Amino acid sequence: MPRAVISPDRTADFARRLESRQARIGIVGMGYVGLPLALLFSDARFCVTGFDIDPRKVTMLNHGDSYIVRIPSSEIQHARESGFSATGDFAQIGAMDAVIICVPTPLDEHQEPDLGYIKGTASSIAPYIHDGQLIVLESTTYPGTTEEVLVPLLKEGNPAGLEVARDSSSPGFYVAFSPEREDPGNDRIERRDIPKVVGGCGAAACDLACAMYGAIFIRTVPVSSPSIAEMTKLLENIYRCVNIALVNELKQLCMRMGIDIIEVIEAAKTKPFGFQAFYPGPGLGGHCIPIDPFYLSWKAKEFDFHTRFIELAGQINDGMPYFVVENIIEAMSQRGKALFGSRVLVLGLAYKRDVDDLRESPSLTIIELLKNRGALVEYNDPFFSTVGRGRKYALNMTSTSLDKIREFDCVVIVTDHSQYDYRSIVANAKLVVDTRNATKGINASNLVRC
């Protein structure tokens, strides 16, 4: 495994503690990013403490139980045997050699960045930061957050008056940014095989962070500043957002032209250069792709710059749930049924296949739109027996058994979970609207793809 180049003095001592596995790692936020990261460090024989403000998560982790479907409880139990523990007591931050912040960065009701979790975490850990400690932010955010928001809060809240150390011999704490690159549901790539981008407030901080991450990741990619690392994450996700918007728009055109967009994409991706396949869908979900473009657009206004291309892509993707609902209405109308008063079953709540993650899920928007138009909506999802809050208001719904599929006027496939038997669904439903091409290879008069 490649080793990072370490500066002398305190950074060299930190490197020795990493090498001997004496360094204690604290991770704030035991969610979809923080918990997998904690398990990686634990698997590499580090003593890891997970911090979270949710007492339910703390209790479950300390009992060896998982609350994320793709992480079996056996992994938590194995980590517990290796010394992993969880706590809500931020005073324990003082015992850590390094602290990694993995908290949410959502949008507020005005589609502007909500840094409340980052600010809250900074205020919670600042009183306990000590000389020589490394603080790394992983939460996706706009360029400048680490140095303009996080650092001032850490300095102001530290009673010892510590400053950010810019080299290996100066007193103070070290700060870096390293964007998370989690891909829930991806079983093809091991987490440790994903290169780790690192940007530090000074070369020493970058060296320290690279040394730490180099202990669990095959490769680290040092960059010159936290802002470069922050922008790197945004570029990765905006690249996907824009290309998905492109195929979503082409999908709508192809439907009018009577052309199968999926067949077009499959043919295009046979080109061995200059093309990467992206696929259309009912809208974007997850924490990153639907949100990141708005973070950059908001920050760009500070520089009197309007990100028209990026915002257009966001508008196209945001409009896809509305496009789906219009196609449902059309499909039912052609069969002599009105949406108002009809029973509609939505298959899949999660934002992507085979994950237990509802964040920004287009399914929630589609359910709300259908309800607003008078439909009697129910859902089925193997990962969610109930759902409370939707995108705009409380849904308070319970998953419906697929045994009742014949009772519905329309079944809408929004999330293509692998557990579903799509041939059986098509065979038993009155009408199926497929937004994911999950029924590929099935031909039936009651099947509409959109």
Q: What angle do CA 348, 352, 353 make, to 5 degrees?
A: 75
Identity of residue 222: P
Taking the C-alpha atoms of residue 400 and residue 105, their distance in angstroms, rounded to an integer, is: 32
β strands within 62-115, DSSP E:
85-87, 98-101
Contact 85, 50 (CB under 8 A): yes
**In the chain, what is the greatest distance between 2 CA atoms, to the nearest angstrom?**
78
CB 347 within 8 A of CB 413: yes
Identify residue 313 by its one-letter amino acid code.
A
Paired sense of beta strands 394-398 and 386-389, if any: antiparallel
Burial letters 159-169, b for 16+ CB under 10 A, else e: eeebebbbebe
In 52-184, the DSSP E strands lie at 85-87, 98-101, 134-137, 174-177
Strand order in the sheet with 447-449: 376-380, 343-347, 410-413, 432-434, 447-449
* Catalytic hit among 47, 206, 210, 288: 288
- Taken in order 278, 281, 283, 288, is the CA torsion positive or negative? negative
* Torsion from C-alpha of 187, 193, 197, 202, nearest 10 degrees: 140
Active-site annotation holds for 47: no
Could you tell me the two tokens for 144? 């400048």
Catalytic residues: 288
